[in-house]
């Protein structure tokens, strides 16, 4: 099971600024001076080995869109945030003009950051393409049509070339989608959101974004521990620091890195991937949250180590 992240930022897309790039170059050059890099060979090795992720790369700025490979010729994705534009180009590159793509989409909810990429999702414009948009909310079709209606967008939803079907799922009830057994779970979020557990060939993955976990209600905690139980990968909304999550941003509908680790440990999860990054955080800040989270896991580790990563646009994980 391969997972590809096309959008990992929460609430609104962001881009690197000129100031961000200048800061990365400055940090890299200061380190290079320190290390005495003065030949092309040393420079190559320095780039490969001495620069951390937040200097050399970027977490990226697209809002949520995560692809799960199916190996069947059909495509499967969670949410249609701004990352869906790049996913659409990827799908077209692997199908068109030979075949019209078949795409299954699973929606956590219809807040704007999770649907805004759809009007730029190329397969929606292809005659003969089939799009199945799954979700538990009654308003999904209305939300997709509304964001493409005048005066907000030039191409009305009704003019899209693809055959688009909306499929209603029921929380707690498993359904087969593109070869996966998919089970939705209601989550705490304004207007509700749903997490999804995907299972196939003894492997399991949970996509759980836009979900606030309080850990105050033992019954609710137990439900999520069961939902995450022994998952190979949990993609988790870790938008806030613990301090923010329990103070100024309580009831804003998102969770912290620390709560993510606690739930994952209780459930025996193998890999926790932090997702839906705060748009105000730069790469250094996200990396430092990741480092803190890894340290917290090491201090609280039980019998099994929990692998922790922070998602970035373009990341691929094999489950
Ligand atoms: Zn969101
Ligand atoms: Zn939301």
Q: Where residue 7 sits, what CATH number does that domain have?
A: 3.60.15.10
Question: What is the per-residue pLDDT for 251?
Answer: 66
44 and 132 share one domain: no
195 and 272 share one domain: yes
Q: What tens-digit pLDDT sequence spans the chain (319 residues)? A: 999 999 999 999 999 999 999 999 999 999 999 999 999 999 999 999 999 999 999 999 999 999 999 999 999 999 999 999 999 999 999 998 999 999 999 999 999 999 999 999 999 999 999 999 999 999 999 999 999 999 999 999 999 999 999 999 999 999 999 999 999 999 999 999 999 999 999 999 999 999 998 888 899 999 999 999 999 999 999 877 666 666 666 667 778 888 999 999 999 999 999 999 999 999 999 999 999 999 999 999 988 999 999 999 999 999 9
38 and 181 share one domain: no
Nearest ligand atom owner, CA of 276? 1
One-character DSSP codes across the chain: -EEEEEE-B-SS-----HHHHHHHHHHHHHHHHHTT--SHHHHHHHHHHT--HHHH-----PPPEEEE--SSS-EEEE--STTHHHHHHHHHHHSTTTS--EEEEE-S---GGGTTTGGG-GGGGSTT-EEEEEES-TTHHHHHHHHTSTTT-SS-GGG--SEEEEEE--TT--EEETTEEEEEEEE-STT-EEEEEEEETTEEEEEE-S------SHHHHHHHHHHHTT-SEEEEE--B-HHHHHTTTTTSS--BHHHHHHHHHHHT-SEEEEESB-TT--HHHHHHHHHHHHHHHHHH--SS--EEEE--TT-EEE-
What is the Å distance from ligand 2's center to 112 Cα? 8
77 and 197 share one domain: yes
51 and 62 share one domain: no
268 and 187 share one domain: yes
What is the Å distance from ligand 2's center to 210 Cα? 5
Question: What is the per-residue pLDDT for 255?
Answer: 80
What is the Å distance from ligand 2's center to 286 Cα? 20
Question: What is the per-residue pLDDT for 246?
Answer: 63
Question: What is the per-residue pLDDT for 238?
Answer: 86
Which residues form the domain of 306? 2-14+58-318
122 and 111 share one domain: yes
What is the Å distance from ligand 1's center to 243 Cα? 20
28 and 123 share one domain: no
30 and 157 share one domain: no
23 and 10 share one domain: no
Question: What is the per-residue pLDDT for 243?
Answer: 65
47 and 66 share one domain: no
Question: What is the per-residue pLDDT for 200?
Answer: 98
Domains of the chain: total: 2
Question: What is the per-residue pLDDT for 242?
Answer: 65
At 178-212, the pLDDT tens digits run 999 999 999 999 999 999 999 999 999 999 999 99
110 and 218 share one domain: yes
What is the Å distance from ligand 2's center to 252 Cα? 9
Question: What is the per-residue pLDDT for 192?
Answer: 97
Confidence (pTM): 0.95
């Amino acid at each position: 099971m391969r997972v590809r992240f096309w959008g990992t930022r929460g609430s609104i897309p962001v881009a690197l600024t000129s100031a961000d790039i200048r800061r990365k170059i400055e940090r890299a050059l200061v380190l290079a001076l320190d290390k005495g890099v003065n030949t092309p060979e040393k420079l190559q090795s320095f780039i490969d080995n001495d620069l951390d992720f937040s200097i050399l790369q970027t977490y990226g700025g697209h809002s949520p869109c995560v692809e799960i490979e199916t190996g069947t010729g059909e495509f499967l994705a969670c949410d249609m945030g701004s990352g869906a534009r790049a996913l659409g180009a990827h799908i077209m590159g692997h199908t068109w003009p030979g075949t019209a793509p078949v795409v299954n989409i699973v929606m956590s909810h219809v807040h704007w950051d999770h649907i805004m990429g759809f009007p730029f999702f190329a397969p929606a414009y292809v005659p003969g393409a089939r799009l199945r948009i799954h979700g538990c909310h009654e308003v999904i079709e209305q939300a997709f049509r509304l964001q493409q209606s005048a005066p907000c967008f030039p191409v009305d939803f009704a003019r899209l070339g693809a055959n688009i079907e909306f499929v209603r799922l029921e929380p707690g009830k498993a359904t087969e989608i593109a070869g996966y057994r998919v089970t939705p779970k209601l989550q705490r979020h304004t207007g509700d959101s749903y997490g999804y557990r995907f299972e196939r060939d003894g492997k399991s993955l949970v996509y759980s974004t836009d979900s606030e976990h309080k850990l105050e209600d033992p019954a609710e905690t137990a439900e999520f521990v069961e939902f995450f139980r022994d998952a190979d990968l949990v993609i988790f909304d870790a938008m806030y620091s613990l301090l923010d999550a329990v103070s100024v941003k309580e009831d804003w509908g998102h969770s912290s890195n620390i709560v993510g680790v606690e739930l994952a440990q209780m459930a025996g999860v193998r890999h926790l991937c932090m997702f839906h990054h705060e748009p105000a955080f730069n790469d250094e800040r996200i990396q430092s949250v990741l480092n803190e989270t890894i340290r917290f896991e090491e201090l609280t580790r039980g019998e099994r180590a929990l692998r922790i990563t922070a998602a970035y646009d373009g990341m691929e994980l094999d489950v």
